[in-house]
């Protein structure tokens, strides 16, 4: 027996009561996980316009499912506790408990997976943000194109809220035409020169939108001719750090989401611990109560354990049981062989009797 413990009647009662409280605590934890999933999903949906794919959504989706399932599972555990001390009602839970253990173990595994995924998917999140932000910056000027009219507002609000500029940094704005042709005077020489100076005929300039401006800068924001030191008095663009936001929006958003998921890490880990302790306690309660019911005196002492045989033996048992259930489906080659061998044997015996015995 693995980790067996003796349980008197009083200890069984205490175990049932304690487990009832623990399972209600686990129900609250399930609700907490569900709310966490909802919060994460809402935060991801809010910035869905700058994300190219929704792969990262698997984390909040799993949290939502696990939260709901864990509420149901732990509620069943509390019902089992309530019935465990009543010998007439407990047996009906017998069959269900096996399935319950499987589901609860699955939930724990899923929670561990979620924690692992939230670290593993960071690279995919960055990729998704990179492409989404690149598109957002490219379509910044298209405020007259249906489907893209709010791209400018989205990017402006994003840059102001997260204190970031461009995809990797502010220089991303130099490679994109972010001033729409509607507002360019094509008769002016400067505009014509700029458009002719690059292959695609785009109006590129070394300037950024106003949403890149840093309010903490001591001087009024410089948005245009950023690389030209002579265009502004007392200005050196390599050493000027406070004028614009220095962080890129991809970095800012990734940090934000990683921070969110990391801060929920300890909460999820403690929920896993609580769930595992519920599973172990239900197992002890089940074996102790079943042992007590098998005794002549149901109020006497019984033994509770985790596994009836040792770990290795239980594993072998389980394997053979699974193989047996699999074998029922197939035509049994072993029995076919055995029947064949028997048939041969009878033939041999018949031959032997047929052939005259050798003279002794």
Residues 174-203, interacting with other proteins (CB under 8 A)? 178-180, 182-185, 188
Output the smallest distance, CB 63 to other proteins, in A.
32
Q: Does 119 bind other proteins (CB under 8 A)?
A: no
Residue 145 structure tokens: 């194109």
Q: How far is the CB of 145 from other proteins (least distance, A)?
A: 11
State in angstroms the smallest separation of the CB of 210 from other proteins.
Answer: 4
Q: Which of 12, 130, 152, 250 binds other proteins (CB under 8 A)?
A: 152
CB of 250 to other proteins, least distance (A): 21
Nearer to other proteins, 158 or 271 (CB): 158
Nearer to other proteins (CB atom), residue 234 or residue 263: 234
The yes or no reply on residue 219 touching other proteins (CB under 8 A) is yes
Cα angle 161, 162, 163 (rounded to 5 degrees) comes to: 95
Binding residue for other proteins (CB under 8 A) from 6, 14, 157, 319?
A: 157
Rg (CA), the chain: 36
CB nearer other proteins, residue 11 or residue 194: 194
Cβ neighbourhood burial of 202 (10 Å; 0-12, 13-18, 19+)? middle
Q: Shortest distance, CB of residue 246 to other proteins, whole angstroms?
A: 16
Q: How many residues belong to the site for other proteins (CB under 8 A)?
A: 30
Q: In whole angstroms, what is the distance from residue 74 CA to residue 85 CA?
A: 18
C-beta of 186 vs 328, nearer to other proteins = 186
Determine if 204 is a binding residue for other proteins (CB under 8 A).
no
Residue 333: other Cβ atoms inside 10 A: 9
Would you count residue 147 as binding other proteins (CB under 8 A)? no
Which listed residue (213, 252, 261, 288) binds other proteins by CB under 8 A?
Answer: 213
Contact segment (CB under 8 A) with other proteins among 63-71, 115-123, 141-149, 283-291 equals: 141-149
C-beta of residue 212 within 8 angstroms of C-beta of residue 166:
yes
Please report how close the Cβ of residue 192 comes to other proteins at its closest, in angstroms.
13
Alpha carbon 35 to chain centroid, angstroms: 14
Region near other proteins per CB under 8 A, out of 113-121, 192-200, 204-212, 257-265: 204-212
- Burial (0-12, 13-18, 19+ Cβ within 10 Å), 356: exposed
Decide if residue 9 touches other proteins (CB under 8 A).
no
* Residue span binding other proteins (CB under 8 A) among the ranges 24-32, 119-127, 227-235, 310-318: 227-235
Q: Is 160 in the site for other proteins (CB under 8 A)?
A: yes
Q: How far is the CB of 176 from other proteins (least distance, A)?
A: 12
Smallest separation, CB 153 to other proteins (Å): 5
Residue 87 interacting with other proteins (CB under 8 A): no
First to last CA, the chain: 60
Is residue 146 within the footprint of other proteins (CB under 8 A)? no
Interface residues toward other proteins, by CB under 8 A: 143-144, 149, 152-153, 156-157, 160, 178-180, 182-185, 188, 209-211, 213, 215-216, 218-221, 223, 232-234
């Amino acid at each position: 027996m693995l980790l067996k413990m003796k349980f008197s009647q009083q200890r069984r009662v205490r175990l049932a009561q304690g487990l009832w409280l623990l399972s209600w605590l686990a129900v609250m934890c399930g609700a907490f996980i569900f709310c966490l999933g909802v919060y994460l999903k809402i935060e991801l949906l809010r910035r869905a316009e700058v994300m190219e794919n929704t792969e990262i959504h698997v984390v909040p989706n799993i949290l939502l499912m696990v939260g709901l399932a864990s509420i149901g599972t732990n509620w069943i555990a509390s019902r089992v506790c309530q019935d465990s001390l009543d010998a007439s009602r407990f047996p009906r839970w017998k069959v269900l408990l096996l399935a319950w253990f499987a589901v609860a173990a699955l939930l724990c595994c899923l929670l561990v997976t979620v924690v692992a995924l939230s670290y593993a998917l960071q690279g995919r999140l960055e990729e998704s943000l990179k492409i989404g932000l690149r598109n957002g910056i490219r379509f910044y000027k298209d405020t007259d194109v249906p489907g893209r009219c709010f791209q400018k507002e989205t990017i402006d609000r994003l840059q102001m809220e997260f204190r970031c500029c461009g995809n990797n940094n502010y220089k991303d704005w130099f490679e994109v035409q972010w001033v729409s042709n509607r507002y360019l005077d094509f008769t002016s020489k400067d505009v014509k020169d700029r458009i002719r100076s690059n292959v695609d005929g785009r109006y590129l300039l070394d300037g950024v939108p106003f949403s890149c401006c840093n309010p903490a800068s001591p001087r009024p924001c410089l948005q245009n001719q950023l690389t030209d030191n002579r265009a502004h008095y007392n200005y050196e663009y390599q050493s000027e750090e406070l004028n614009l936001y220095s962080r890129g929006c991809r970095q800012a958003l990734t940090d934000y989401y990683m921070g969110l998921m990391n801060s929920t890490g300890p909460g999820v880990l403690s929920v896993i611990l609580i769930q595992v302790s519920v599973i172990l306690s239900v197992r002890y309660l089940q074996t102790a109560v079943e042992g007590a019911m098998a005794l002549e005196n149901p109020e006497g002492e019984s033994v509770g354990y985790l596994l009836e045989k040792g770990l290795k033996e239980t594993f072998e048992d389980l394997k053979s049981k699974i193989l047996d259930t699999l074998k029922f489906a197939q035509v049994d080659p072993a029995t076919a062989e055995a029947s064949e061998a028997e048939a041969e044997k009878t033939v041999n015996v018949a031959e032997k009797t047929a052939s005259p015995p050798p003279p002794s």
